[in-house]
Amino acid sequence: MRKGIVLMAILCCSALAVCAQRSEQTLEKGWKFTKGDVAGAETTAFSDTKWQSVTIPHDWAIQGPFSREYDLQNVVIKQNNEKVASVKTGRTGGLPYVGIGWYRTKFNVDGFSAGTKNVTLVFDGAMSEANIYVNGQKVAFWPYGYNSFSCDVTSFVNKDGKNNVLAVRLENKDQSSRWYSGAGLYRNVHLITTDKVHIPVWGTYITTPHVEADYASVRVRTEVAGNKDNKLIVETHIYNPQGKEVLIKKTTECGPDGQPNEQNFIIDNPQLWSPETPSLYTAKTILFADGEQVDTYSTTFGIRSIEIVAEKGFYLNGKRRQIQGVCNHHDLGPLGAAVNVAALRHQLQLLKDMGCNAIRTSHNMPAPELVQLCNEMGFMMMIEPFDEWDIAKCKNGYHRYFNEWAEKDVVNMVRHYRNDPSVIMWSIGNEVPTQGSGQGYKVAQFLQNICHREDPTRPVTCGMDQISAVLSNGFAAQLDVPGFNYRVNRYEEAYQKLPQSVVLGSETCSTVSSRGVYKFPVELKADAIYPDHQCSSYDMEYCNWSNVPDIDFAMQQDNQWTLGQFVWTGFDYLGEPSPYDTDAWPNHSSMFGIIDL
């Protein structure tokens, strides 16, 4: 009897140890928020009882009110062929996104013991210029509001792991965006507790080097952090889309700390990922240190092949297909920028029903929930990080941080999403002014090389609109895939001049319309303006720099060397109310969307 009790106790302790190896929680509730700068708000003694109680994700600006006075911009938009500055109203949605905001919460780390545990915070996105404090001490700064980042806070946690104060200061400057960016902790915040020896954030990299109908090879590379002299064992279990374990491999000879462990598998009769069959596998990696299990890390992946073939176009799983994509901004219309899975799923289902098969994340890193939904629902993705590089579009745009932060941002983007089968291509930028400079190709090469280093399996493109410049200065020629924004009349010329022998419509159409509004006479018309601030719903009106969709669709249908296109846009979005962006308040949202707000 006593032996049985002892054995049961040992088993219970063992189970608790396994459960306690990795703890992940989303810090959703219990937050306090205030608008404006507050001295001492990062300290543990500060009282936030009078602050507003909020739930994360939270967009402080979407509650409004709307106003013509918010973020007025007297600017020249060169991308719209403007020569003279004019007052732009509603360019960023007419919402109060500019300013400083503070967030505070408390968290506990159960079973924390200094020297044996590791504590990490992961921010899926914080808009913007985030300063992170734990127990009054600054632990991280990350300026770009769209990117995910993590910070090791182990040394800042209280000794007993209890009542740790997390404070976040965010600041959006005026004229920092060309559309509504949202404001605040608009994406999720995660607290991860692991053993000191563990698999770090985005610590696995899974590729499928060879894919055929009857078998596929799968390569799993696993990073290990915190290891000094421990003897490591990495054990990986592969589960098929039905949840059945199909393979297991244990590696006992692991390299030194910092060198990824590699395991290779052959999967017979694989269930291939595609928009029609979005089959997802899971790799569960178990880490042992000196014979003890210290971590378990699960990674979702898909088995599929992608290939760009000169003259022929884009191939998925060995079959040619054209990209029937849309560009989407990240906001959810009246719901604002705060990520909402149900709303994202609803949007994607509407797009799926109309025949869309791809999403371009314009012009920034997406919420991880969107990528997960694209994996599950069968959308190909082109993920894009930047709207400007080292030369400004907006007075307080990303150019202020490009030289110091661009590599860090691209590395995070690629490592975050390189296991996702939906992602078929990286874009390194959108209509960046740098493309027109004589040395611009060097910046493009710098960013493309980072993508290739972190993920050699996917091609790289860039959305270009200065066609004459990029065809002559080497910018377009050195990209894996030349991506053109509009200028469909230059596709044939580019195809003849560039070595890639393919062209991607990285952004197309920009036709404007208002649901239920019909203007007469019905005629093709650029920059049509009406007293009621509406556009005709006959799909015959467009901006002077764009065109109606029939032209792009015909080009795609008639020429195999066109990879396809991403229409601007799938959904209307807050900001950029063309053609009514020049002192035409109360317009505050786009009219480009195939589907409106």
* Closest CA relative to residue 102, chosen from 48, 156, 151: 48
Average pLDDT over residues 104-123: 95
- State the average pLDDT for the chain: 94
**Average pLDDT for 10-22:** 46
- Residue 11 above 60 pLDDT? no
Cis peptide before 57 (omega within 30 of 0): yes
370: left (phi over 0), alpha (psi -120 to 50) or beta: alpha
Instruction: Choose among 300, 295, 298, 299: nearest CA to 233.
Output: 295
The model's confidence at residue 171, banded by pLDDT at 50, 70 and 90, is very high
> How high is the pLDDT of residue 257?
62
Q: Which residues are catalytic?
A: 431, 507
In this predicted structure, the answer to whether residue 464 has a pLDDT above a threshold of 80 is yes
Given this model, what pLDDT does residue 260 score?
85
Check pLDDT > 80 for residue 499: yes
> What are the helix (H) ranges across 419-485?
440-454, 467-472
pLDDT of 258? 62
The model's pLDDT over 196-225, given as tens digits with 9 standing for 90+, comes to 999 999 999 999 999 999 999 999 999 999
> Are β-strands 292-301 and 281-289 bridged in parallel, bridged antiparallel, or unpaired?
antiparallel
Tokens 């493009």 -> residue = 444
| Nearest partner of 155 among 192, 200, 107, 119, judged by Cα | 119
In angstroms, rounded to a whole number, what is the distance separating the alpha carbons of residues 119 and 166?
13
Count CB atoms within 10 A of the CB of residue 380: 27
What pLDDT sits at residue 256?
63
> In this predicted model, what pLDDT tens digit does every residue of 246-269 receive, in sequence order?
999 999 877 666 678 999 999 999
* CB-CB contact of 22 with 295 (8 Å): yes
Burial call 200-224: b when 16+ CB within 10 Å, e when fewer: bbbbbbbbbeebeeeebbbebebbb
Average pLDDT over residues 494-523: 97
Distance CA 452, CA 458 (A): 8
Q: Which of 130, 126, 140 is nearest to 185 (CA)?
A: 126
Measure the CA–CA gap between 447 and 455, rounded to whole angstroms: 12
Q: Is the pLDDT of residue 147 over 80?
A: yes
Residue 378's pLDDT band, with cuts at 50, 70 and 90, is: very high
- Show Cβ contacts of residue 406 under 8 Å, excluding neighbours closer than 6 positions: 386, 389, 446, 447
Q: What is the pLDDT of residue 78?
A: 79
Instruction: Quote the pTM value.
Output: 0.95
